[in-house]
Amino acid sequence: MEYANNILETIGNTPLVKINRLTAGLPCLVLAKYETFNPGNSTKDRMALKMIEDAEASGLLKPGGTIIEGTSGNTGMGLALAAIVKGYRMICVINDKQSREKIDILKAVGSEVHVCPTDVAPEDPRSYYSTARRLAEELPNAWYVNQYDNPSNAQAHFESTGPEIWKQTDGKVTHFVVGVGTGGTISGVGRYLKSQNPNVKVWGVDTYGSVFKKYHETGIFDKQEIYPYITEGIGEDILPENVDFDIIDGFTKVTDKDAAVYTRRLAREEGMFLGNSAGAAIKGVLQLQDKFKPDDVVVVLFHDHGSRYVGKIYNDRWMEQQGFLEADQQAEKIKTTNK
């Protein structure tokens, strides 16, 4: 008989899927690393389990302890699944721009959820960074995960995601494209791929309102770059230690509108029901197309599942309120005309 001993054993070994319609004009093969096949429906399951196992081994996380993390939702989900299996209490601190679905899903898997304001500085005591740290200090036998600076985050992708992509492409991958938030995915995967072939190019997808692109290009942390944005799961107003800028060859920025429209296009035109950052990622691939040659194999990683965004990206009223619906309807007309 073939079966997993628990749900955590099903993490990883996600498929590569060819993108067809949205990349039809590109000269290269574009493959999606489809991370929604993880049990928590996101790539964050990988690093969540790794961070917990490493904390257990080092004695930071003790039996019966409480796991506390600031999360945009997906890391919290991965941590919550591991907490259930391993017998820990889970507290997630989330900011108020995240979808209602993410909050409800975290509660559904037994997490306590604290919601904090988005539009405050990271050092503000009301921010989700500060709140998570405070709770970890106040509660007995608590461990603050700190995915942004926890080296186990990037190491998880160096040990699993990177080797999977290398094996699945038979070592033919030439470009890796992914949205950047904590930096664990791009740094871990990028480091592994470049260890196998230093010529592999690693591209980060950033969003307007985030500091990554300018910092990478100039070395300047420009606070004028920081302002509220809608796209979930990518971009930051801090520089996480997990972002290895030396691994990254370049960034491209995608607007909130394009991220939303292309998320919906992935669902309609590729049958890929994905989260907000996937739209940003595939638009980022299209913006980088002048970097690609006919024999290239481009792998783009899609982080999470569309079920977390039904009330936002996939809701016409929400799209209309943001001023995005008209652009999406225009994209639908073009698709219909080209059939």
**Closest to 302 (Cα-Cα) out of 179, 184, 203:** 179
Whose tokens are 């770059």? That residue is 225
24 burial via Cβ count (<10 Å: 0-12, 13-18, 19+): exposed
CA distance to 68, 116, 296, per residue, from 126 (Å): 16, 6, 46
State the residue for tokens 């006919």. Answer: 294
Q: Which amino acid is at 261?
A: V
Positions annotated as catalytic residues are 44
How is residue 336 written in tokens? 């219909």
* CA distances from residue 145 to 112, 198, 240, 294 in whole angstroms, order as listed: 15, 32, 13, 43
Integer CA distances (angstroms), 138 to 63, 68, 142, 301, in order: 18, 11, 8, 37
Other Cβ atoms closer than 10 A to 27: 11
CA dihedral 295→278→242→194, nearest 10 degrees, is: -10
Q: Does residue 70 contact residue 94 with C-beta atoms inside 8 Å?
A: yes
Which residues lie below 8 Å from residue 123, measured CB to CB, with a gap of 6+?
Answer: 129, 130
| SS3 category, 18 | strand
